[in-house]
Structure 1
Amino acid sequence: MPSAFAPGKCILFGEHAVVYGHPAVAVAIDQGVRVSVEESDVWKLEGSPFEPSRHPHISHIIQNIFQYSGPPLDIDVDSSLFSAAGMGSSAALSNAFGAAMFAYINPGEELDTVKLAKIAHSAEATAQKGRASPTDTATSALGGCLVVSGSEEHGTKHVFDTSLETPEGSREWSINAVDIPLGIEGAWLVIGYSGIGSPTGRMVSKVA
């Protein structure tokens, strides 16, 4: 059974303004999403009938990215991330599902992490009405610490560039990696959860 794991993320600086080209610094965390897929008689998601309209990230990857027309699949999702809590749950889901689908369709082949990040970013943009920065998806796909900005940032390692047509016009981003200092393994990142969800699309529209 093909399976893939993708971590969540925490944005240290920048948050939703990164959608409009302002810099953001994000780190991957050890919690995330694992997705498994296997052939089935009918389409299922976590044991229930799969409803494409309710799951735009998954639907986009199936229909638009892989243009999959094979037998129905049983999709299992195991997540340790709170939803709508700023931990990148939808990005982790998109990355994990994209990687699991790739493994199912192309057994034995390795998926490039930059390609995976772009697949997941495309899914996020579709689900969020065209407003989605690549911060969550890139951090989840690449891991480590990233700086996402409208241009390359001094003191970082450039990884890739990407762009998106949004309702406000064309946006471009530079994805840059930051070397994490040795010995930082003993440091802790404490994340507080208020219990009140904030859907990304709605929050981003308020920053516009």
Structure 2
Amino acid sequence: MAPIRPPVAEPPAPHATRPVVLLIGGYAGCGKTTLGRALARRTGWPMLDKDTTTRPVVEAALAALGLSATDRESEAYRTLIRPAEYEALMAGMAENLRCGTSCIVTAPFVAEFASPSWCESARARIGALGGTAHFAWIDCDADTLRSHIVERGAARDEAKLAGWNTWIGSLDLAFRPATDHLVVANSGDFVAVDEVAKALAEKFGK
């Protein structure tokens, strides 16, 4: 009996358009995850959210260091854990690009978007993998941030709310990324997130 051989795989068809990576940044409570999900539902693109993607590993690392699982402010978190968090997130983005898949990446990205070199490096990395990078910043006022943070009731926000004046005073609410970017306004009582997602999807040809 002749051996059974697997069929010869046909080479994948080239993509008609370059995959898109949309990096959505903003302060805690600004609505970046909500917008990312709305856009993912409309486009069918995978969504990589920093907290969802890395939280179990981050909490295990914090516990190993003898720190609270909700710690996001200490020097140990900022210097030992946070950089690895973002590298894991960007590695997931790169994996999607290698498959020719567009994706949405949501995280605060504050230090990253403030750095021209980081933005340039991310844009080059995405381009080298065949994609096109887009950066978006969600602009949100202090009252709306507080309302959203209270509403979601996340344990990781307890320190922010307990020291609200100190935390909100540490933010630059006029911040903008140090690269070409989109600004999404999300202040006030009601923002039609689905309409924003629709406009973004149309911009990206979806």
Question: Is TM (by shorter chain) over 0.5?
Answer: no
Greater per-residue helix proportion: 2
Classify the TM-score, shorter chain.
0.3 to 0.5
TM-score normalised by structure 1 residue count: 0.34
